[in-house]
């Protein structure tokens, strides 16, 4: 069944010292446009995330947000500058000797010289990071996909009801189209009697004129094509494969056939049916803008 281009999904998780949050949302768009925001240091994850999104969506403007926090104790390590520390120890001992002071150099006293320590961020393994990020991304994508499918179900129900309405209108058009030729013949004969009085027109000539009118008002081909388009439309909205673009094209064809029927046959009943059909097509057009 069709699915909508509108969706939202979010997931959070923690593993291996990481706190991860992933959020994804999408709106209508003619093509697939994916934008991912994530910490610069984890930029190498962007293409992996995009690859997973492409498995779930083929159209839509998609924005995704990834946040990763690593617990401080796991993300950094303290590095001791051994050479500098040794120089401080030598200097302190020298001060004690030269000034006849108590030599009480200790670790705690040495630790006051903060420049002997340096914080260094641990290098992270890309595959290991992706291993903890991927489950969170997949869970958010599953919720995102579920919402798009749920929205697609609502779209299907609405479109299905409008196709029912279109098929009902088409059947009425077919009936009135069959009556149109007889009505036009009767109008032509009445007009001729009004003009010619009791004089009867040549029957062969009258049949020729009626035949010309029949060619002009015949909507059989348009009715057949319209029925075919409606059947194809109904088949497409039942498929799981993306069909939004094809449905857009079919909607244009529906409108074209209805317009042709309206221009060919000016019978009041058909004109009113054409107006109703065009209203239904316009509502269909609005709905399919959100179909993937």
Give the pLDDT confidence of 104-157 residue by residue, as tens digits.
Answer: 888 888 888 888 877 655 667 889 899 999 999 999 999 999 999 999 999 999
Q: Which residue has the tokens 């007009």?
A: 191
Which residues have CB under 8 Å from 133's CB, separation 6+?
A: 18, 20, 22, 45, 66, 68
Summarize the confidence of residues 32-43 as an average pLDDT. 93
DSSP 180-228: HHHHHHHHHHHHHHHHHTTPPPPHHHHHHHHHHHHHHH--HHHHHHHHH
Summarised one tens digit per residue, pLDDT across range 46-89 is 999 999 999 999 999 999 999 998 875 555 677 788 888 888 88
For 59, which DSSP code? S
pLDDT for position 193: 57
> Rounded to whole angstroms, how far apart are CA atoms 292 and 277?
24
Count of helix runs (H) and strand runs (E) in the chain? 9, 6
Q: How far apart are CA 222 and CA 174, in angstroms?
A: 10
For residue range 181-217, what is the model confidence (pLDDT) as tens digits? 566 656 655 665 565 555 565 566 655 655 555 556 5
Q: Give the 3-state secondary structure of residue 166.
A: helix
Domain 7-72+127-148 has CATH 3.40.50: no
How far, in Å, CA of 44 to CA of 276, rounded?
55
**Angle at which helices 268-288 and 126-196 cross, to 10°:** 170
Whether the Cβ atoms of residue 25 and residue 8 lie closer than 8 Å to each other: yes
| pTM score above 0.85 | no
Domains of the chain, residue spans:
7-72+127-148, 74-121, 152-288
Residue listed under structure tokens 């979010």: 10
pLDDT for the residue numbered 95: 86
Cα–Cα dist 160/1, whole Å: 12
Question: What does the DSSP 8-state code read for residue 39?
Answer: -
């Amino acid at each position: 069944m069709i699915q909508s281009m509108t969706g939202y999904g979010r997931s959070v998780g923690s593993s291996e010292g990481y706190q991860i949050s992933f959020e994804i949302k999408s709106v209508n768009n003619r093509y697939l446009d994916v934008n991912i925001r994530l910490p610069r240091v984890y930029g190498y994850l962007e293409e992996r995330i995009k690859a997973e999104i492409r498995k779930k969506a083929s159209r839509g403007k998609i924005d995704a947000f990834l946040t990763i926090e690593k617990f401080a104790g796991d993300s950094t390590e303290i590095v001791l500058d051994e050479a500098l520390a040794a120089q401080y120890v030598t200097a302190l001992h020298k001060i004690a000797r030269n000034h006849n002071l108590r030599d009480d150099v200790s670790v705690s006293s040495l630790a006051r010289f903060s420049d002997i320590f340096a914080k260094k961020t641990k290098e992270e393994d890309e595959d290991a990071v992706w291993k903890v990020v991927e489950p969170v991304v997949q869970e958010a994508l599953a919720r995102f996909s579920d919402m798009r499918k749920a929205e697609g179900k609502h779209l299907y129900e609405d479109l299905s009801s409008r196709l029912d309405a279109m098929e009902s209108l088409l059947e009425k058009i077919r009936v009135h189209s069959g009556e149109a030729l007889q009505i036009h013949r009767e109008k032509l004969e009445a007009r001729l009697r009004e003009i010619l009085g009791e004089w009867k027109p040549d029957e062969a000539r009258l049949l020729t004129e009626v035949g010309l009118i029949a060619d002009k008002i015949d909507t059989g081909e348009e009715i057949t094509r319209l029925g075919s388009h409606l059947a194809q439309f109904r088949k497409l909205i039942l498929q799981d494969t993306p069909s939004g673009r094809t449905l857009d094209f079919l909607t244009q064809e529906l409108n074209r056939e209805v317009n042709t029927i309206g221009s060919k046959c000016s019978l009041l009943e058909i004109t009113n049916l054409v107006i109703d059909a065009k209203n239904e097509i316009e509502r269909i057009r609005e709905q399919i803008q959100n179909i993937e």
